[in-house]
């Protein structure tokens, strides 16, 4: 008999944080849409398009009732791919499985969702773990048949699971553990489990993990295998589905240190193999229960602490009764130790089986429930299988408020590979990636966006519009500031096409995005930068001007709205007060247009701006230049002068030179050095002769 034992010696492994996700599921490509579908009991499974039953695709002789089967489809054209963006030649692209292509796209989106610029991964030990099952594209290539040399190698490089992961690693330039995993329906969960192990073993600091499942040709045998499953009606499984999903994972300590938005935490992971079953693919109660118990032990939790299980839910006459029995056994449903019924659900009723992505799909559902604090109603619960014992279990027919924080996610493969995840909801961190200044009332919000082509820029702009339209009025300025901050610091910025939207609030930002001609956003054809093509970091220079640029109240608005700038200005001012006995805030708040202590104020402004930008990650890597008084700020930027020394120098300059001089002007001469020196000499000579005469 299986028992769950806990000892004081059990060492809890470090949890793993999920900080970003991206997916394509039937009926939804984003979290807001998926959640809406789940809460509204939307069935995202539809009738298979007639074009998929073409005779040339091997569907000769199918009856109409056989063609009426339903399936889940994702809302994208899987044959459309921007090969230029990914640096792939047409020949190479022709051999790459659409599953691998879509995984590339999702890896980019997942990193953006996590607020991690893709270029930051280059040369790091980040991991890529991908789980798939089908390799139908390879079959299609073989059917098409060509005699080009090296075709077999190209098929392998384009269609194997391992190379799907390797292609992501190669594009981002990562050097950490990279693996392709094939385990049937539990492939994506196995990939996530591998990522957890690598993170805990400190072999990597970040992992991209998930899976793909695209059905590129009819699978008649599968239809006959599963005919009649709709009568089961515990968790409906339809024929087959097109799905993909990826998650970005970090150790919790690293995620907190980096200020990441933690969507949920993986507390435990367990896996097992049904090696004692009568044949491969036949599930067993003990085998599935062992995976659940292993996850509980890994998480150092008791079965009673878990209140909700997102089931695998195959929808088969054999699979579901065994899974429910295994869940009852592992979570002690009949032991009398549970104070409340164990809630069981499955997303498959909404979107279909999802095959190798089933574990990732269940994980996404739980993450959304954690965000919204509710367990969605279960679809298709009218008739339950009388062979299943539901005592002590609850299948929610309406949305349930979720006050708990722990949930399990099961995923079982046709290979006999069983997996189970324990997820935990976390309290949002008080601190975030958003600078404290951006959480204050700012005069303007700046939303930058860029792309490699005009069409991509237009598409990205539409996505920003859609995202901002989902904002609620009660979200306030904090969320808007965080959104703009993430767009500035958490995305890769391209040189080819760049634009910005500026506004004082959400409505103004939306107006700016929706009306290019009036918003200051230039048309793509006007902003294309044809001259910049770089592979290294963007060259940045800092230029510090001198006397003459100042005005009363300069920087006052920035002082009031940006705590970073204010902190450095106050630091300078404290030195000025101690050394010169002058409070620069008096000048800063003066509404009269007359400069007071201009040299000190210019330096304070330049020093504060310098450190504000550097704290935000903008650092000079090309050169630092100062003109006249600006040379002092430039010297501090280079580390030549300390702040205290710089203030003493400026104060001495003011006291001994500037205050003793009368009014003067600066002249700009359009001449070279030789001619300028000659003009100065003639002027000086004439001036001296006039004085002597």
464, 501 in Cβ contact below 8 A? yes
> How do residues 440-481 score in pLDDT, each as one tens digit?
555 688 899 998 888 889 989 999 998 898 887 556 667 888
649 and 503 co-located in one domain: no
338 occurs within a structural domain = yes
Judge if 48 and 154 occupy the same domain: yes
| Mutual angle of helices 319-330 and 285-299, in 10-degree steps | 40
Residue 483 shares a structural domain with residue 574:
no
- What integer best gives the mean pLDDT of the chain? 80
Residue span of the structural domain in which 645 resides: 541-658
Q: What CATH number is associated with residue 384?
A: 3.40.47.10
Strand-pair category, 417-424 with 264-273: antiparallel
- If we measure between CA atoms, which residue out of 110, 367, 392, 355 comes closest to residue 222? 355
Q: What is the pLDDT of residue 237?
A: 33
Q: Are residues 389 and 465 in the same domain?
A: no
If asked whether residues 255 and 294 sit together in one domain, one would say yes
What is the CATH number for 460?
3.30.70.3290
3-state secondary structure of 268: strand
- Considering the domain architecture, whether residues 309 and 365 belong to the same structural domain is answered as yes
The verdict on residue 688 lying in a domain is no
Give pLDDT, residue 162: 82
d(CA 343, CA 358): 19
Q: Identify whether residues 357 and 452 lie together within a single domain.
A: no
Task: Using pLDDT thresholds of 50, 70 and 90, give the confidence band for residue 231.
Answer: very low
Place of tokens 């008649």: 220
**Is 519 part of a structural domain of the chain?**
no
Greater confidence, 478 or 201? 201
pLDDT for residue 232: 31
Within-domain flag for 671: no
More confident residue, 528 or 176: 176
β-pairing, 406-412 vs 178-181, is unpaired
Q: Where does residue 599 rank: exposed (0-12), middle (13-18), buried (19+ CB within 10 A)?
A: buried
Tokens encoding 176: 């950490």
* Tokens encoding 153: 């190698």
Establish if 49 belongs to a structural domain: yes
Q: Is 425 left (phi over 0), alpha (psi -120 to 50) or beta?
A: beta
What is the mean predicted confidence (pLDDT) over 31-48? Answer: 82
How many Å is the Cα radius of gyration of the chain?
32
What residues form DSSP beta bridges with 367?
none
* Token representation of residue 79: 């044959």
Phi, psi at residue 374, to the nearest 5°? -150, 145
**CA 98, CA 101: separation in Å to the nearest integer?**
5
What mean pLDDT do residues 527-541 have?
A: 57
Same domain assignment for residues 319 and 454:
no
Domain CATH number, residue 604: 3.40.366.10
Distance CA 137, CA 103 (A): 15
Angstrom CA distances, 169 to 20, 125, 163, stand at 17, 10, 9
Rounded mean pLDDT, 205-227: 66
Which band of pLDDT confidence, cut at 50, 70 and 90, is reported for residue 158?
Answer: low
Task: Note whether residue 147 is domain-resident.
Answer: yes
Q: Is residue 431 in a domain?
A: no
The tokens for 374 are 């509710």
More confident residue, 134 or 46: 134
Report which of 361, 142, 338 is spatially closest to residue 247, judged by C-alpha positions.
361
Are 457 and 497 in contact by the 8 Å Cβ rule? The answer is: yes
- pLDDT of 208: 94
| Domain count across the chain | 3
Q: Are residues 343 and 241 in the same domain?
A: yes
| pLDDT at residue 516 in the model | 61
pLDDT band at 194 (very low <50, low <70, confident <90, very high): very high
Residue of 345, 379, 381 whose CA lies nearest to 362: 345
499 within 8 A of 523, measured Cβ to Cβ: no
Helix (H) or strand (E) holding 502: strand 497-503
Burial 471-495 (b: 16+ CB within 10 A, else e): eeeeeebeebbbbbbbbbbbbeebe
């Amino acid at each position: 008999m299986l028992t769950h034992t806990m000892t004081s010696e059990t060492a809890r492994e470090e949890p793993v944080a999920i900080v970003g996700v991206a997916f394509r599921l039937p009926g939804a490509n984003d979290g807001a849409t998926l959640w809406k579908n789940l809460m509204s009991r939307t069935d995202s499974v539809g009738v298979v398009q007639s074009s998929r039953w073409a005779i040339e695709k091997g569907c000769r002789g199918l009856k109409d009732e056989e063609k009426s089967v339903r399936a889940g489809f994702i809302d994208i054209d899987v044959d459309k791919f921007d090969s230029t963006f990914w640096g792939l030649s047409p020949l190479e692209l022709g051999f790459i499985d659409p599953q691998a292509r879509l995984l590339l796209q999702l890896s980019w989106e997942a990193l953006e969702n996590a607020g991690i610029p893709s270029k930051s991964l280059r040369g790091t030990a980040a991991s890529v773990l991908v789980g798939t099952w089908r390799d139908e594209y390879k079959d299609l290539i073989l059917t098409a048949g060509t005699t080009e040399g090296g075709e077999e190698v190209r098929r392998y490089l384009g269609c194997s699971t391992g190379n799907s992961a390797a292609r992501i690693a190669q594009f981002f330039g990562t050097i950490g553990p990279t693996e392709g995993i094939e385990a049937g329906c539990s492939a994506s969960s196995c990939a996530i489990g591998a990522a957890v192990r690598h993170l805990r073993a400190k072999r990597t600091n970040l992992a991209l993990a998930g899976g793909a499942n695209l059905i590129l040709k009819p699978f008649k045998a599968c239809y006959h295998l599963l005919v009649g499953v709709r009568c089961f009606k515990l968790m409906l499984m339809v024929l087959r589905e097109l799905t993909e999903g990826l998650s970005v994972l970090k150790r919790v300590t690293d995620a907190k240190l980096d200020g990441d938005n933690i969507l949920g935490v993986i507390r435990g992971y367990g896996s097992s193999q049904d090696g004692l079953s009568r044949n491969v693919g036949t599930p067993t109660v003990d085998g599935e229960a062992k995976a659940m118990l292993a996850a509980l032990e890994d998480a150092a939790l008791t079965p009673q602490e878990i209140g909700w299980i997102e089931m695998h839910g195959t929808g088969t006459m054999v699979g579901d009764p065994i899974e429910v029995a295994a869940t009852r056994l592992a979570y002690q449903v009949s032991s009398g130790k549970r104070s409340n019924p164990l809630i069981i659900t499955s997303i498959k009723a909404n979107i279909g089986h999802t095959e190798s992505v089933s574990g990732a799909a269940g994980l996404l559902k739980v993450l959304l429930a954690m965000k919204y604090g509710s367990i969605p109603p279960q679809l298709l619960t009218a008739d339950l299988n009388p062979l299943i014992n539901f005592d002590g279990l609850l299948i929610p027919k309406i949305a349930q408020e979720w006050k708990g924080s722990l949930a399990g996610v099961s995923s079982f493969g046709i290979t006999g590979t069983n997996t189970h995840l324990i997820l935990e909801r976390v309290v949002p961190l008080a601190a975030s990636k958003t600078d404290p200044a951006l959480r204050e009332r700012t005069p303007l919000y700046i939303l930058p966006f860029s792309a490699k082509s005009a069409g991509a820029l237009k598409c990205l702009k539409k996505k920003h519009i859609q995202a901002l339209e989902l904002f609620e009025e009660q979200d306030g300025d904090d969320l808007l500031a965080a959104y703009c901050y993430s767009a500035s610091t958490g995305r890769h910025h391209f040189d080819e096409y760049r634009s910005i939207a500026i506004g004082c609030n959400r409505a103004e930002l939306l107006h700016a995005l929706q009306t290019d001609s009036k918003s200051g956003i230039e048309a793509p054809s006007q902003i294309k930068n044809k001259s910049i093509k770089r592979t290294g970091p963007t060259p940045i220079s800092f230029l510090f001007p001198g006397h003459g640029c100042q005005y009363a109240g300069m920087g006052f608005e920035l002082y009031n709205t940006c705590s970073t700038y204010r902190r450095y200005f106050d630091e300078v001012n404290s030195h000025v007060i101690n050394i010169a006995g002058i409070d620069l805030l008096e000048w800063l708040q003066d509404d009269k247009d007359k400069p007071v202590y201009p040299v000190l104020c210019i330096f304070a402004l330049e020093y504060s701006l310098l450190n504000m930008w550097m704290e935000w990650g903008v650092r000079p890597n090309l050169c630092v230049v100062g003109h006249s008084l600006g040379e002092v700020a430039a010297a501090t930027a280079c580390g030549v002068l300390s702040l205290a020394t710089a203030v003493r120098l400026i104060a001495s300059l003011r006291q001994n030179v500037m205050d003793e001089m009368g009014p003067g002007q600066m002249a700009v001469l359009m001449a070279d050095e030789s001619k300028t020196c000659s003009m100065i000499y003639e002027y000086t000579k004439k001036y001296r002769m006039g004085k002597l005469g």
